[in-house]
Structure 1
């Protein structure tokens, strides 16, 4: 039986099973989760690194890649997707939406006559909820009481179980983030309510309830003064004992430290990116950076690239070899010594010309440096045969 106007849900199991509130009654959602420094820092790093990727329109032709700087899409994807945002701001907020809300949406505005893409308008799901509907085996989007076909919407889901709509990481990580939020609240509460001047008064002489109340009130008023030095005198051989942090409470306050590792797992980001340097050394930090690009950034870049190629380029353009390139090499900058060794090997093996390396280093080309170098001890069989023939001819002469 054919489905008609059926809303596609993002995962009722997760939405109903996970979630909750902190011990102070705060809901665990995108806003409260961002008050965790590690969670905020992780999201900021992921979205910034993705937004930093240079994006351009290229064409494959005879095995070469040609950058189409004059293509109308090049300005949109690399400079200004719409009148409100730069490409960096647009890319950053799109990835944040995909991670936090589970889905990133943008409306594709096309020229009515030419059907060329004119802008990409980000859809703020906090202000405008998006409903995804399946009708006659096709997807439609309902935004501000207006329906859009799949062709008119950029839609990149995050973690998804049905391949269509995603689930936000906060929905899945609510329990884990809730523990970290509780420990954060507990630490704040402790420093507010269990500092100096808070404790227990003991006395050798029995006191009636009213006397205890008066005694405690007088002591509290004395210790609550705004003066720098606070002095209180206790009668009847009384003694004042501070309430100290118990070993169990101290251990609970360490939960924030463990929470950094937990956040790193949920965001799929190396702990050293969240300023947790345990186990990190100068010898392995470069490898961890490479792992960050390949494991954390590239999967998101591939998701957005696939959607852009399908929705922004026409079928005829794709058949002509056009594609949108996300250059991740900008995130793989090594130290100067390693970089020099890397480029030297590629130049002397003939992989790069010297001008191509200058271009990668953002330097202008120089005359005479566009020819690839060939090692004298590395030759093809054809070259060897040719030289042998030339040698025989010279010998016969």
Structure 2
């Protein structure tokens, strides 16, 4: 006997009649209505299915592209002055880590692994102690173990000590070896978004017609019922194709919708809420997942600041510390790698130029340094620091004014010789 037969009984039985017991168990009823063990079964979630949710794909791509686009330069400190070190290391970090990958492609791939599976790995190829290449590793094909208190990474048939592996986890578990995946930890929120996508697709693929129940005298026998069902389906399809607003029904019968109206179920609001849930999963302000439902001119600008202060800078610090440890060792003194977060202002020309002008006028930047940030060549006189002289202590006001025609400053404490004679005569 099939499930439907066990649920409704034979022809002489009726689930509306409480005097007739159904042979279906509670497990059968729960399974029939899509419920098991007291909870609904959401679609299974893995990285591939999660990336089919637009909000998840947008979050992963936005974060990975943003982090990969930041300039990453090695610096060295000589006599207390920090400056770019240049050389092969700058080429590895900011141009090409190996002959096959550009710096942007390597870093974007690494951040994609962090924001999906929860971990990014790359191994450092060295000649002696000097790094000559950086190669990305597939975290799904890498095993990590701890022996004698030290970590080792096994990948592609080789074993690498932790000192030669750049490891950026999303969040480490208690063992310090395995990492949490944001996709796995947010699987319920993502699964709900997938379920709503599937429901919306099924609903609109069916012409916006919800599941219907036929009410009235039903034909006897399974074959007669199937023919009636087929006739009704053909009538509905014919009316849809012909653009008719109604179709005929046998006397005493009517069709009633089953389930909940998407509008009454607030499906639009629910899908919008899932975007916000996914934004929370990655720590992103909702505006960066194209959710402007509560966005205004002022708070959207604040979300831009929040992105840099409370998300991008955190991940930049994590990557910088890992690079510094693995490239330069535990006791480095004069070298480090650092992101330039000012690059996030590249698209805002006015703010960028105003900031450079402010830096020059306050003696923080030489004109040539500001020009170099805009990829412009140096100019004569651009290697000096300048400062505006309009702001001076109150007691010095008027003492150091420049004379006419570029002459020397006038000292108001000295008497003008021309006026001295007049004062004597008076």
TM-score (norm 1): 0.79
1:66 matched to 2:83:
yes
In 1, Cα distance between equivalents of 2:64 and 2:103: 12
Corresponding residue for 2:404?
none
Structure 1 residue aligned with 2:355, among 334, 339, 342? 342
Where does 1:1-397 land on structure 2 (aligned, <5 Å)? 26-69=43-86, 71-111=87-127, 114-126=128-140, 128=141, 130-162=142-174, 164-193=177-206, 195-196=208-209, 199-200=212-213, 206=217, 208-209=219-220, 212-224=225-237, 228-229=241-242, 232-236=247-251, 246=261, 250-252=265-267, 254-313=269-328, 318-319=332-333, 321-333=334-346, 335-378=348-391
Which secondary structure state, in structure 1, belongs to the residue aligned with residue 139 of structure 2? coil
TM-score (norm 2): 0.74
Q: How far off its partner does 1:51 sit?
A: 0.1
Q: For residues 219-252 of structure 1, give each alpha carbon's deviation from its aligned partner in whole angstroms, at most 9, with x where no partner exists.
A: 3234446994166544547656666852686324
In 2, Cα distance between equivalents of 1:278 and 1:62: 53
In 2, Cα distance between equivalents of 1:201 and 1:27: 33
In 1, Cα distance between equivalents of 2:344 and 2:202: 41
In 1, Cα distance between equivalents of 2:347 and 2:124: 37
Highest relative contact order (Cα 8 Å, sep 6+), 1 or 2?
Answer: 1
In angstroms, what is the RMSD of aligned CA positions? 3.4
| 8 Å Cα contact 2:43-2:195 kept in structure 1 | no
Q: How far off its partner does 1:102 sit?
A: 2.0
Q: For residues 26-78 of structure 1, give each alpha carbon's deviation from its aligned partner in whole angstroms, at most 9, with x where no partner exists.
A: 42121111111101101110000000011112212234332222x22111111
In 1, Cα distance between equivalents of 2:234 and 2:76: 78
Q: 1:225 to 1:115 in 2, by over 3 A?
A: farther
In 1, Cα distance between equivalents of 2:304 and 2:345: 7
Which secondary structure state, in structure 2, belongs to the residue aligned with residue 75 of structure 1? helix
In 2, Cα distance between equivalents of 1:197 and 1:291: 43
In 1, Cα distance between equivalents of 2:303 and 2:74: 30
Q: How far off its partner does 1:282 sit?
A: 2.3
| 8 Å Cα contact 2:152-2:162 kept in structure 1 | yes
Higher gyration radius (CA)? 2
Provide structure 2 residue ranges, at least 5 long, that are not aligned to the other structure.
1-38, 401-409, 418-426
Corresponding residue for 1:19?
none
Corresponding residue for 2:20?
none
In 2, Cα distance between equivalents of 1:78 and 1:341: 27
| 8 Å Cα contact 2:42-2:188 kept in structure 1 | no
In 1, Cα distance between equivalents of 2:377 and 2:301: 28
